[in-house]
Chains A and B, each alone.
Chain A
Amino acid sequence: MNLVLIFNTFNGLITGAFYALLALGLALILGLNNTINFAQGAFMALAAYFAYSLEPSLGFWGALAVAPLLAGVLGLVVEVFLIRRLYKRDPLYSLLLTFGLALIIQDLIRTIWGATGVPLSIPESLAHPLSQTYFFLTGYRLFVVIVAFAGTAVLFAVLRYTRLGIRIRAGNADLETVSALGVNIYLLRTANFVIGIVFAGVAGILAAGQLGLEPTMGDGLLMPAFVAIVVGGVGSLLGSLLGGLLIGVASGGTTAYFPAASEAVIYLIMGLMLVIRPRGLMGQEGLFE
């Protein structure tokens, strides 16, 4: 193994963790609200714009804490007034709804903040490489990796071991029985959707720290997130993490030898996975195992 390949594998893991972070909220909403949320990317961009507007008064960290919550409030409105009406229908309805929503949010951003990109600054202390040799490992990227792993771990623990988590999972497995037992399923699903959007917000802001923030930013982030979920297995948070890491490494490795195919390779992996093992790396009949 030559040095370039080692570099690319290491770098691919970092990029992959970023993809996994993008996939986290999406996987949550897909697994428990049974909704393919096409507006996830648009919510990412919107939260990043909120952060951009809040940054002058709250600073980067303050904006990172508050902006996702604002996006979450909007997610609440969307769930209660729109998504909720479609739970009993074919998932295609909510897919179309969220697709339209994505376009509306994108145009809303363009109307409020303009079509020209805006600069979102990250703390000076994070914007440097941590090592001269591994120059691609910056403080910022390390932070993104930590958030991705911590986010997955926290969500996993909540769903696995808390009352709320058990109810959400039970509700998804057998809605009627659980609601017959007196659990307010709608409230649980709303909570889950909002948490998913808050995660989208965090991912969006962290993405905008290393990418240009402009109205279509979410478009480019949505696809890797979907691929990570499909490869990792729908319904498995750990699977999404693994899926993200896998496509990150594959994409990085391909760039070293044939850069023009670096985007295509992740779709190739997805296609192969769907043919060979349709449920993905960790997707099983039961959720989250």
Chain B
Amino acid sequence: MDKDMADESVRMNRRTLLKAGGAAGLATLLGHQVPSWGGSETPVKIGLIDPITSTFAAMGQSEIKGAQFAEAEINKSGGILGRPLQIFVEDSAGNPGTAVDKASRLLSQNKVDFLMGTVNSAASLAVSQFASRHDKLFVCTGGHVDSLTGKECKTTTFRTCSTTWMLTAGDFETLFKKFGKKWYFLTTDYAFGQAEQADYTTQLKKVGGTVAGSALVPVGATDFSSYLIDVKAKSPDVLCLLLAGNDQVNCMKQIAQFGINKGIAVGGALFELEQAQALPEAARYGWWTMEWYWNQPNNPHVADFVKRYTAVHKGEYPTARVWFGFATTHAIRLAVEKAKSLETAKVVKAMEGLVLPPEIALQPGNVFYRAQDHQLMLGMFPGHVIQTGQYPNLFDVSEIVPGEKIALPASQTGCMLSHA
């Protein structure tokens, strides 16, 4: 009897929980609807796939914030072709399989017109193939692997963030000239890290540098001490860290505690404001490349954007990932307006060579989607971490290198688009 009572109460609780969950879910759905439109206009729909959970969540949420910020502003100023814009967000959990499942759901259930998103390279490649098979435009926001706009490029795929080649070329000269030619690579063991290491090695060998050693680190590693023993034993001039997301934060903290950055210059390719925020002062160091930075003196468009964004997000500053989401959403809008159509082929055509206006590009120079490989020619922001800086002043950009100058020429990327 007692047991039955207990069971009943468990069941009741569960039911209540389910109801509460359902109500919460419904509230979220309602919250996403565009309020200011009469409902007679069918919205232009973009499916955004990004990690909301997993180790990539911080990056994913920044991209989503950027895209939703653009969505709100676009809708406030009249939408796209007089129709409201609606972005559907799905969680990829940083996993290629999940990303494709979600892309499939966005197409079949939400009937989205375009796809964008994915932080990590493996998921980007998977969604790119999926979109190509289903003849949908996919604009990659944040997966850097070269092959996405190289050997495995697709007519329907464009990319807003840089290639790993551009990332490595952004600060290679600085690291090499400033610190020396004997390098050690600590590289994350998947597509992104391996591509970065290959790109740095190519540039290093070209100018007579040597690779003192290298190690592939499994994703999600927590202990770097044994790797650092080997680094110290090989005593390189430069310790090049090619780790992603939180792994980089883990490693930088341990390097600082072991005092390794006192004798060896530490640097690498990609560095993100999200990572800098997670580092205590003692572990802030090194020369890196950002893909966009909020602090660009003498650029009124950037200042205005930062002001608008921080106002909406209560003092939170936009990161490069935020800009990826923002710029990609606007790029799709511009391409649709240019094509005056939502048809994939026409929008693709309109997007080839599309130049981002200064209020969207938010950086100097000519920023455009290169027609031959669909890669955005965005600038690189090499510089160094400000150790004693207070958020958001954590990075000092030494120069803004135009993307056109450092991207591999289209003829060397290995991309062969069928129509080009």
Contacts and interface: CB of A to CB of B under 8 A. Distances in A.
Contacts of B215: 255, 259
Given A116-B58, A117-B246, A106 B53 contact: yes
For A11, A18, A120, A211, which residue has the most chain B Cβ atoms within 10 angstroms?
A211
Nearest to A264: B218
Contacts of B337: none
B280 A4 contact: no
Nearest to B281: A121
A182 interface: no
Contacts of B6: 85
Interface stretch (A124-132, A151-159, A168-176, A271-279): A124-132
Interface stretch (A63-71, A194-202, A215-223): A215-223
B216 interface: yes
A180 interface: no
Nearest to A135: B258
B229 to A, nearest CB: 5
A256 B221 contact: no
A4 to B, nearest CB: 6
Interface string A103-125: 00011001000111111111010
B278 A260 contact: no
Contacts of A256: 226, 229-230
Nearest to B228: A136
Nearest to A207: B222
A128 to B, nearest CB: 6
Interface stretch (B166-174, B248-256, B370-378, B404-412): B248-256
B57 interface: yes
A7 B229 contact: yes
Contacts of A259: 215-217, 226-227, 230
Interface in A1-32: 3-4, 7-8, 11-12, 14-15, 18
A124 B281 CA distance: 11
Interface footprint category on A:
35 or more
A283 to B, nearest CB: 25
A62 interface: no
A216 to B, nearest CB: 5
A117 B220 contact: no
B226 A216 contact: no
A135 B232 contact: yes
For B62, B257, B279, which residue has the most chain A Cβ atoms within 10 angstroms?
B257
B277 interface: yes
Interface string A145-165: 000000000000000000000
A128 B249 contact: no
Interface string B236-252: 00000000001001100
A212 B229 contact: no
B278 A11 contact: no
B101 interface: no
B6 to A, nearest CB: 7
B257 A212 contact: no
Contacts of A239: none
B259 interface: yes
Interface in B354-377: none
B225 A121 contact: no
Contacts of B249: 117, 211-212, 214
What 8 A-B pairs are tightest by C-beta distance, nearest first? A117-B278, A212-B249, A255-B226, A119-B280, A115-B57, A259-B215, A116-B58, A121-B280
6 contacts: A11-B226, A14-B225, A122-B280, A210-B254, A211-B253, A220-B221
Interface of B: 6, 10, 52-55, 57-58, 60-62, 189, 215-218, 220-223, 225-230, 232-233, 246, 249-250, 253-254, 256-260, 274-275, 277-283
